[in-house]
Amino acid sequence: MRQISSISSLLKLLAFTLLFVSTNVAAQDAAAGEKLFKKNCATCHSWEKPGTGPALKGAVDRIAPGSYGDVDSWLKAWIKDNAKLRASGDAYGNAVFAKYGTPMSTFGNLSDAELGEIVNFLRVGPSTPPPPSGGNDKVPGKDSTNTEEGSDLWLLLIIIAVSALVIIIFTGVNRSMKNVIKTKAGEEADEPKSMWDAMGHWITTHKKLASIIGFVVFLTLGKIGWDALAGIGIYQNYTPKQPIAFPHDLHAGKNEIDCKYCHSSARTSKTSGIPSANVCMNCHKAIDEGSRSGKTEIAKLYQYVGWNPDSAKYMTKDGKMRNDTAIEWVRVHNLPDFVYFNHSQHVEVGKVACQKCHGEVQEMEEVKQFSELTMGWCVDCHRETEVQFAGNDYYKKIHEDAKAENKHKKDFKFTVDKIGGLECAKCHY
C-alpha cells in the first residue's frame, strides 16, 4: 500500500510538471496568436479601447456561442467568415453586427491551427499591456529585451525538474523491483517512507551527480540574481515596442530627412522632443504606403489623427471634427530626475553630432538606447572632448587664458572638464 501511495504522489508531481510545461506551451501558442492578431486584426481591434471593432478584452466571456456549442468553435467560425455565421441566424453575431454596423473582414486564408492560436491569444491577452496614457513618461522596463532570456531560464529549470523526477522515479522502480525480489525471498522490504526520503536516500547514494545538479541550480539562481542587480538603472539597448512601427532608417536614412526636421527643439532647448502627428501628416496626407509594412502602419497613424485616406479628409462624426488622439510613444531614453542634461548645449554649442550619443539612428529600424547613460559615460566624454570655441567670443577669451597658463604643456587640450564639466552641480540639481 505504502508503495502505491508514494508512486501516486510521484505521479501527481509529474502531472503538475506536465501541466506547467503545457501552460508554457499555451503561452507560446498565444504569442504566435498575438503575431497573427497584430498582422490581421489590430487595424480594427485593440485590446482595451474600441476602434472600428469592439475592444477584445473580455470578448471570450461575453460571447454566447448558441448552436456552435462552445466559445472556441464560435470564435473560429466568426473569424473565418462572420457573414456566413450571421447568415446562419446566430443571435450573438447578429447582435454585435447590429451594434457596430460595419462588417468585419473575413479570414478564409487562416488555417485551423492559426485560428486556434488567435483564440488562445484572445484568452490570454497581449504579452506587454499597452502603456497607460501619458506613456511618454513611462520609466523603461527591460521587458522587451529580456523576455526571451527569461523563457530560456524557465526551460532550463523545467528540464532540471523533469530530469530530477525521472531519476527519482527510476530509483523508485528499481527499488520496488528489488523489493519484489526480496519479498519473494522472504526478506523484509526496505521501502522509502516518502518521496523526500527517497530523494534524501538518492542524494546520499549518488553524491557526485547530486552535487553537479546542485551546482547547476546554484549557478542558475546566481545568474538570475546577478542580472537583476547589474541591470538596475542601466537600460542600454532598451528598445520598447512603439504604438506605430516608425522606421528611422526609412525616414532619416533612405529619405534623408534631417533629424532636426522632426526633433526641432534639439537646437533650442533642453529636450529634443518627439514630433506631433501633424508633422507626420505634412507628408503622410500624400504617402499612404511604405515599402516595408505596406499600408498597415501608416493606417495606424491615420487612426490616431482621424484621417480618411479615401476621401482625403479628416473624418467627421455628427458633423464635428474628430478629436485626434495623441500617439503614446514610449520613451526610450530616460535619465533620473536628479540629472540635468541639455540638448542645445551639446548639439548647438558643443557641436556634438546626434550619432555620437545615439548611434547611427538613420540605420536603425527601431531606435534603441545606444549609450549607457551613466555618470561615467558623461564624465569620460567631458574629459576627452575639446570645447568648440570658434565663433564664440566668451570661450575664445577663456581658451586663450588657459593656453597661456599651460604653455609648458605640449599636448594641452581645452576639454570640457576645463570649463567645469566635472563639477557636480553642473549635472545635479
Q: What is the footprint of ligand HEC within residues 42-71 (CB under 6 A)? A: 43-45, 52-54, 56, 59, 62-63
- The C-alpha cell 456552435 sits at 68
The distance of closest approach from Cβ of residue 114 to ligand HEC in the complex, given in angstroms and rounded to an integer, is 9
Asked if residue 199 binds ligand HEC (CB under 6 A), the reply is no
Smallest separation (angstroms) from ligand HEC to the CB of 357: 3
Nearer to ligand HEC, 176 or 388 (CB): 388
Q: Which is nearer to ligand HEC, 134 or 336 (CB)?
A: 336
Q: 279-303 burial, b if ≥16 CB within 10 A, otherwise e?
A: ebbeebeeebebeeeeebbbbbbbb
Binding segment toward ligand HEC, per CB under 6 A, in 175-183, 309-317, 349-357, 396-404: 349-357
- CB of 168 or CB of 357, closer to ligand HEC: 357
Is-contact 83 75, C-beta < 8 A? no
107 scored as a contact of ligand HEC (CB under 6 A) = yes
Asked whether the beta carbons of 302 and 280 are under 8 A apart, the reply is: no
Q: Which 399-418 residues touch ligand HEC, going by CB under 6 A? A: 416
Q: 220 or 242: whose CB is closer to ligand HEC?
A: 242
Binding residue (CB under 6 A) for ligand HEC from 76, 175, 263, 418: 263
31 near ligand HEC, judged by CB under 6 A: no
Q: 65 or 158, CB closer to ligand HEC?
A: 65
Other C-beta atoms closer than 10 Å to the C-beta of 159 total 12
Contacts of 225 (CB under 8 A, 6+ apart): none
> Smallest distance from the beta carbon of 111 to ligand HEC, in angstroms?
12
Burial class (CB in 10 A: 0-12, 13-18, 19+), 187: exposed
3-class state of residue 120 by DSSP: helix
With contact defined as beta carbons under 8 Å apart, do 231 and 145 qualify? Answer: no
Say whether residue 261 binds ligand HEC (CB under 6 A): yes
Least distance between ligand HEC and beta carbon 193 (Å): 53
Query: Which CB atom, from 192 or from 247, has the smaller least distance to ligand HEC?
Result: 247
Applying CB under 6 A, among 123, 206, 260, 383 the residue interacting with ligand HEC is: 260
Nearer to ligand HEC, 46 or 272 (CB): 272
Query: Is 91 near ligand HEC (CB under 6 A)?
Result: no
Cα(252)–Cα(68) distance, integer angstroms: 52
Residue in this structure with the C-alpha cell 476621401, named with its chain if needed: 311
- Determine the Cα–Cα distance for residues 197 and 9; give it in Å rounded to an integer: 13
Q: Which of 123, 206, 284, 413 binds ligand HEC (CB under 6 A)?
A: 284
The 3-state DSSP class for residue 234 equals coil
Q: Could you tell me the smallest distance in angstroms from the CB atom of residue 149 to ligand HEC?
A: 21
* CB count in 10 Å sphere of residue 121: 24
- Of the candidates 172, 248, 303, 414, which one interacts with ligand HEC according to CB under 6 A? 248
Among 94, 293, 344, 406, interactor with ligand HEC by CB under 6 A: 293
Q: How far is the CB of 249 from ligand HEC (least distance, A)?
A: 9
168 vs 387, beta carbon nearer ligand HEC: 387
Q: Which residue is nearest to ligand HEC (CB)?
A: 290
Among 107, 113, 88, residue whose Cα is nearest residue 41: 107
Q: Which residues of 80-114 are buried (b: 16+ CB within 10 A; e: fewer)?
A: bebeebbeeebebbeebbeeeeeebeebeebeeeb
Q: Is residue 346 close enough to count as binding ligand HEC by CB under 6 A? A: yes
With respect to ligand HEC, which residue has the nearer C-beta, 175 or 263?
Answer: 263
Q: Is 396 in the site for ligand HEC (CB under 6 A)?
A: no
| First CA to last CA distance, the chain | 73
- How far from the centroid of its chain's Cα atoms is residue 376's Cα? 28
Closer to ligand HEC by Cβ: residue 220 or 239: 239
The answer to whether 269 touches 344, Cβ cutoff 8 Å, is yes
Instruction: Report the site for ligand HEC in 121-180 (rule: CB under 6 A).
Output: none
